[in-house]
Structure 1
Amino acid sequence: MAEEDFRPLSEEISSFCLVTEARSGTQVTQPFPRSPKLIRRTGANSPKPSELPVWLDDLKKERKKTESHLESIKKRQANLNMSSEAMKQQVQECFEELHMALQEDEKAVLDMIEQDRRETSSKLNRILQDWNQHLSLLQKHISAIQSAQQSPAESMKQPFPEDFTLASCRKKLDPAEGEIKMNEERIHKLMKVLRNISKDLKAQLQRKNLLLDSFNVSIDKQSCHKQIKLSSEGRGLCLSSEDRCVPNEPLRFDQLYCALGSAAITSGQHYWEVDVQCCPSWAVGVAYGSLQRRGRDKGAKLGRNRCSWSLEFQNGHLTAWHNDRHVALPVTAARAAPNRIGVFVKYQKGRLVFYDAETMRTLQEFSAVQNAVFERAHHQFTEPLYPAFRFFSPKDKGHDHMEICDLSL
């Protein structure tokens, strides 16, 4: 072996040490040389002199594109402010029209009441004048009689009128006087109408926000029980006594008269309404796609499992169901069973609300907050939701009908 292969260690180290001079003038020693791979890696992005013009041109183009995009964003921001102000102006004009209509109607109603008051007051003034005249006549006669009692000789010089009698001084009460009053019955009817209008207006104002999130619901034909017939547009459901000739698909309910919507809800907030007035017993709600479709046990029934939520009307009782727990909702003469059900879903918040769509009265809310009966954990939706519908077995099939309402504006 050559002699140079046995150099001292100190000599070996010194041969690999690189001494560089820092800008401050002090010496910095790097004990080991840079790896060739590291040198190649750090210098890989450095352009060659011949590539500099190309790189410069690309960077200028990128700068120009960036400046153009920034200008576009600034214009959008300016347009955003302008469009926002325009929208506010339009909304103000709409509400101003409502205010004007209400003010005009208020003035018309107040004028009507004032006219009634004037007419009634005029009649009472005439009667009051007549009775005042009668009172003056009585006072005159009383004074004359009192004078005659004190000075009989003088009274002979001024005799009483020939037609004067006690009977003529007695004025009979006219029963018609009691009927002279304002038309209170009409006013009561007016107040009832105005209260109903106010109630309907409040309901419609509340409903307008929900209509902004209206959801176009149609029925999934593959999920329908074979005795459920659909309308041509896929929004009407009718329970028939005859089976449809349809394939026995795994997604189809085979025992329960159920159907699911075709579109899934995976985000956002959505609202739809179902007309149930032609159905004596029904269930409306939402369900995961994993809801059981076979058999008649709880796994397939709406609201009787963790996969579904429902509002149910059966045998005159209105109830809300989830996870086989339920809440009884009042149905009275004053609060009859709703004819139209509104369903609102706010997916990310795990919120589900059932409304009486005619009065916008909240029938039941499922959410992480409203959990007196239902478990809190099941109000964070974990799967896609589908609108769900169920008929209960009627005595006379063919008269049960549900309709998904068209909420297009």
Structure 2
Amino acid sequence: MSSKVGGMATHEEILLKHQQHLQRQRDGIAYRMKKLAAKQAEITKKTNAVKEKIKKKYVDMKRVLDEDLQITLSQLDTEYEATEKLVEDRIEDCYHLTQELDQELSNIGAQVNTQKIEIQQLFVLSETRISKTLKLTDPDMIQMDDFKNEQLLSLTINLLLFIRSQVPVTKKLFQTYAADVVLEAETAHPKLIISPKGDSVTYTDTWQDVPETPTRFDTTLNVISKQGFSDGRQYWEVDVSGKTYWELGLTYPSIPRKGQEEDSWLGRGKESWCVEYFNGDYTAWHGGVQHELPLLAGKQFTRIGVYCSFPGGLVCFLGADTVTPLHCFCAGTFTDTLHQALCPGHDNEGTNWKSLKICDASRSAPVL
């Protein structure tokens, strides 16, 4: 009997084909797992190699600084030893003179019958010797090269300032990725005031008379940047000083703008990533998942930095003052253009009226 009826495959043949298809899929997935494991090993190897190279450079820098320190201290020690020897020699000169004077004092009784002129000659000789010794051993005649030492100290201070200006090196690297961020007023919630330059956002209790646009947030106190980016690396900083509540991060343009959905809050949907600060506590958000950051509780920063690497699929937040890591999201692959996003928060019982201001991220914050 034929295995086919009217040219149609039998039930057994269909199951066999399906089984073969699933097996091929399983083999493909197993191969993919193998490739991912190899990729993981490659990433680990590359990361460790870079870390070792950087650690070696820091060891080299420490060695160079240690050698320079030893040269400087050795030079100062040489000068000190020379000066110390001079002082000891002058003390010895004074000691010998006191011994001679003691001897002369003891001989005076035996010189009662000595002629007057001889006594006068001895007196003159003693006075001359004493005067010469006192002049030679004057402490004010022994000087350190204070000017040279001040120059040495000044050069050391300048070296320290230079090193401080170059570290942390991570911050210096981020500064090379500094982005020019301008806020789009047409996206801002009506209770937000955007500065004319688009570099700051301020909460107000007054509902602003602004045109209704499809891009404007009407529930959450958000505003996003005019320009987005879809490649490379970008870094930006926001001045958060004096604030008790704020949220900031990155978002796709597809983030919901209207209605009561919580997804329109930064980090509550899959379209955005953010760090939130509220009354001393920090929380990172993405996809509605809350990441509490208890180790940062109570810490306050003047600036918050956000670094995004499109190739690496990373969104990293840091306290820019001290380059303190806050949280890092690994998105893997971004699927759309990213925009910077800010939420200055409500008034928080009168404690949160200050603006969020975008900073020049290519320059460090001034030391107060």
TM over 0.5: same fold? yes
Instruction: Name 1:35's counterpart in structure 2.
Output: none
Q: Describe how 1:26-105 pairs up with structure 2 within 5 A.
A: none
Distance 1:245 1:218 in 2: 21
1:133 partnered with 2:93: yes
Instruction: Name 1:349's counterpart in structure 2.
Output: 312
Evaluate the alpha carbon distance shift between residue 215 and residue 268 of structure 1 in structure 2; reply closer, same or farther with a 3 A threshold: same
Shift in Å at residue 224 of structure 1?
Answer: 1.0
Shift in Å at residue 255 of structure 1?
Answer: 3.1
Distance 2:268 2:99 in 1: 88
Q: When the two structures are aligned, how many residues end up with a matched partner? A: 275
Evaluate the alpha carbon distance shift between residue 137 and residue 297 of structure 1 in structure 2; reply closer, same or farther with a 3 A threshold: farther
1:259 partnered with 2:219: no
Shift in Å at residue 387 of structure 1?
Answer: 0.9
Shift in Å at residue 280 of structure 1?
Answer: 4.2
Distance 1:296 1:182 in 2: 73
Instruction: Name 1:385's counterpart in structure 2.
Output: 338
1:199 partnered with 2:164: yes
> Contact 1:310–1:320 (CA<8 Å) still a contact in 2?
yes
Evaluate the alpha carbon distance shift between residue 408 and residue 175 of structure 1 in structure 2; reply closer, same or farther with a 3 A threshold: closer
Distance 1:313 1:362 in 2: 15
TM-score of the aligned structures, taking structure 1 as reference length: 0.51
Instruction: From 361, 366, 369, give the equivalent of 2:328.
Output: 366
Q: Describe how 1:252-401 pairs up with structure 2 within 5 A.
A: 252-277=216-241, 279-294=243-258, 298-322=262-286, 323-330=289-296, 337-359=300-322, 361-368=323-330, 378-394=331-347, 395-396=349-350, 399-401=353-355
Evaluate the alpha carbon distance shift between residue 305 and residue 240 of structure 1 in structure 2; reply closer, same or farther with a 3 A threshold: same
Instruction: Name 2:39's counterpart in structure 1.
Output: none
Shift in Å at residue 247 of structure 1?
Answer: 3.6
Shift in Å at residue 175 of structure 1?
Answer: 12
* Alignment RMSD: 5.0
- Give the fraction of aligned pairs with identical amino acids, expressed as a percent: 23
Distance 1:404 1:114 in 2: 49
- Letter in structure 2 aligned against 1:324: Q
Distance 2:260 2:98 in 1: 93
Gaps of 5+ in 1: 1-105, 369-377
> Contact 2:181–2:227 (CA<8 Å) still a contact in 1?
yes
TM-score of the aligned structures, taking structure 2 as reference length: 0.55
Larger Rg over CA atoms: 1
Evaluate the alpha carbon distance shift between residue 280 and residue 200 of structure 1 in structure 2; reply closer, same or farther with a 3 A threshold: farther
Shift in Å at residue 345 of structure 1?
Answer: 1.2
Evaluate the alpha carbon distance shift between residue 296 and residue 143 of structure 1 in structure 2; reply closer, same or farther with a 3 A threshold: farther
